[in-house]
Structure 1
């Protein structure tokens, strides 16, 4: 976003709130450090660090190459002036850019030479120390949600069928007087009044479904199959200064949906059954996202590097070390033998490469699930609690 992170993808609805992501705002200083070193007196699950996704098993290919590529993306980021500036603002004792870099280099070596999940876990235990996120309750409880890169059909020109556009960044957006125009002011309550205001002639591409156009704003990027047979990718280019409002939470507040039923599939079904409510609820998210064509580039996170399916996470970058190696421990939707999705506990090594406007505090993680329908299905069902650890080489 400069893709994903800088736009508002679906996070808590993609679990809890029909929405997610954008640049982080300044956070208050916590009385407790957001990351605490795990001492030998702490009892950890025996499954922690047993990442069975890296190596092939049960007829499924492993993703070691994808994990190594994700590590390389973080290493590339850590060499940039942006990383140097980011770490000047990071204040967790014992965690600095050089230690994060050295930890990634060594972990990459271990992944390359290890022959099993157990062998890798043993090596990590010998050489690394864990820092646990204090979570939303200072007891380590972390809420997990998922996001993805959607794929839709679109048109380069407006037609009777393709009426809902994504927009380029308006000239002089940064100089717009504040408060900037709301979503309703920019496109109207029905999403079709954009030619009457500052968005006129800024249409980038056209969607046939208003909800699809909105979801792309939430997710921050998309891969589009064009009606002329070509493929187009779009990514985040800017946004107005209004905070994000989760449409799903608004439905819950109005008694239209129960909180425990708030998943992406249920939200889509609700609006498909009640299309008239789009005019009521979409404008409640006053924030508006603009796009640019990315010419086939992979979806990127807030660090400016590609995000990798099930190996990249988004956290609050005012608290967590950008680009660092982490370990998630939580149930995630996994395909069963019958092909259905079922919740199963996973312990997985990930890279912290993104952020989100709804990802605030030490108790929130958003996992990138990939591109397309299957990734969207899994992201929409990702709504769990677990723990989050960061791995640093022992001093």
Structure 2
């Protein structure tokens, strides 16, 4: 995605899944990350899925690819600038990079989860996010890259455009125009104003066009069979708003049990409501043709399904190796989802306008319908750690 604009689940106001007990952190100033004692590390249970389970392949290569993407970012001038002002003592660009290089070696050479866990405990120290309660509780949500039907030219079917970033956007007066001012109540008035000529592609479904704004990227299936990828190119300066919570606030849907399928079903049954609720989402997102590339995070490298996370980059170390403990949704084989507790190594490679503070993480769930179904119901609590080589 990407430069994600926030999880779909959070935008809907989904009720939290089961809540693991938070770690008791030692109070220490106002820093977002705190080192934890080795005794606590032994309780983390580094049960990752690298080696798979009976009848299932592991995804060691996916983790290695994600590590390599972060190492690419850490060699960039953007990384140097980010770490020059990073506020947590002891977390430097050089240490983050060396930690990733060494961890990669351990993943390649370890033959079992137990062997990897022993090596990690021996060589690394853990920094834990203080969470939203300063006791380590973090809210996890999910985001994904959708696939929609679209056209490069408008017609009676394909009417709803997504737009390129205006060439003069930096000179736009603030506050920026709202979504209502830019595209109108019906979403069709952009060509009559300052967005004229900036159309990148047209979709047949107004809700799908809006969901690309929420997710920050998409793959578009064109009428001739080609696949076009579009990615985030900028946004107006208005704050995030939850459309789902707006529906619940107005009594249109109950907040309890609100999910992506529920909200989509509501708008399918009452399409006239799109003109009521979409304009309330004041931010407007601009896109670029990403040339068929994978979804890209705020670190300018591809994100990997279930291995890339988005956090507040004013607080968390970009590109760094992290470890999450939280319930994630999985298909239950009966057309629904069930939450299973996971303990997983991830890379911090993205950001989002709704992902603010030390208590928020967005997990990239992948591309397509299943990833969207999982992201749409995901909202759970857990813990977030960063791994750094011992000094």
Structure 1-normalised TM-score?
Answer: 0.92
Match of 1:111 in 2: 107
Match of 2:38 in 1: 40
Q: 135-144 vs 233-242, which deviates more?
A: 233-242
CA contact (8 A) 1:74 1:323 kept: yes
1:210-234 per-position Cα deviation (integer Å, ceiling 9, x unaligned): 0000000111110111012211111
Match of 2:376 in 1: 380
Gaps of 5+ in 1: 18-29
What secondary structure is seen at the aligned counterpart in 1 of 2:340? Answer: strand
1:329-353 per-position Cα deviation (integer Å, ceiling 9, x unaligned): 0000123466753100000000000
**Any residues of structure 2 matched to 1:1-395 within 5 Å, and which?**
1=1, 3-5=2-4, 7=5, 10=8, 12-13=10-11, 16=14, 31-42=29-40, 45=43, 48-51=45-48, 53-336=49-332, 340-395=336-391
What secondary structure is seen at the aligned counterpart in 2 of 1:13? Answer: helix
Q: 116-125 vs 382-391, which deviates more?
A: 116-125
CA distance in 2, matches of 1:245, 1:133: 25
Instruction: Give, in angstroms, the shift of residue 9 of structure 1.
Output: 5.7
1:5-43 per-position Cα deviation (integer Å, ceiling 9, x unaligned): 3x45635136659xxxxxxxxxxxx95211111113547
What secondary structure is seen at the aligned counterpart in 2 of 1:269? Answer: helix
1:233-262 per-position Cα deviation (integer Å, ceiling 9, x unaligned): 111112212122121121222222233323
Aligned length: 379
CA distance in 1, matches of 2:177, 2:31: 38
What secondary structure is seen at the aligned counterpart in 1 of 2:38? Answer: coil
CA contact (8 A) 1:149 1:221 kept: yes
CA contact (8 A) 2:176 2:238 kept: yes
Instruction: Give, in angstroms, the shift of residue 177 of structure 1.
Output: 1.5
Gaps of 5+ in 2: 16-27
CA distance in 1, matches of 2:324, 2:171: 41
CA contact (8 A) 1:244 1:285 kept: yes
1:184-207 per-position Cα deviation (integer Å, ceiling 9, x unaligned): 011111111122211112211110
**What is the CA RMSD across the aligned residues, in angstroms?**
1.8
What secondary structure is seen at the aligned counterpart in 1 of 2:256? Answer: helix
The runs of at least 4 consecutive aligned structure 1 residues that moved more than 4 Å come to: 14-17, 337-340
1:353-381 per-position Cα deviation (integer Å, ceiling 9, x unaligned): 00101111100000000000011111112
What secondary structure is seen at the aligned counterpart in 1 of 2:104? Answer: helix
CA distance in 1, matches of 2:41, 2:64: 29
CA distance in 2, matches of 1:344, 1:113: 28
CA contact (8 A) 1:141 1:363 kept: yes
CA distance in 2, matches of 1:14, 1:370: 19
Gap change, CA 1:38 and 1:315, over 3 Å in 2: same
What secondary structure is seen at the aligned counterpart in 2 of 1:152? Answer: strand
Gap change, CA 1:184 and 1:253, over 3 Å in 2: same
CA distance in 1, matches of 2:126, 2:3: 27
Gap change, CA 1:8 and 1:188, over 3 Å in 2: farther
Structure 2-normalised TM-score?
Answer: 0.93
CA contact (8 A) 1:9 1:217 kept: no
Match of 1:24 in 2: none
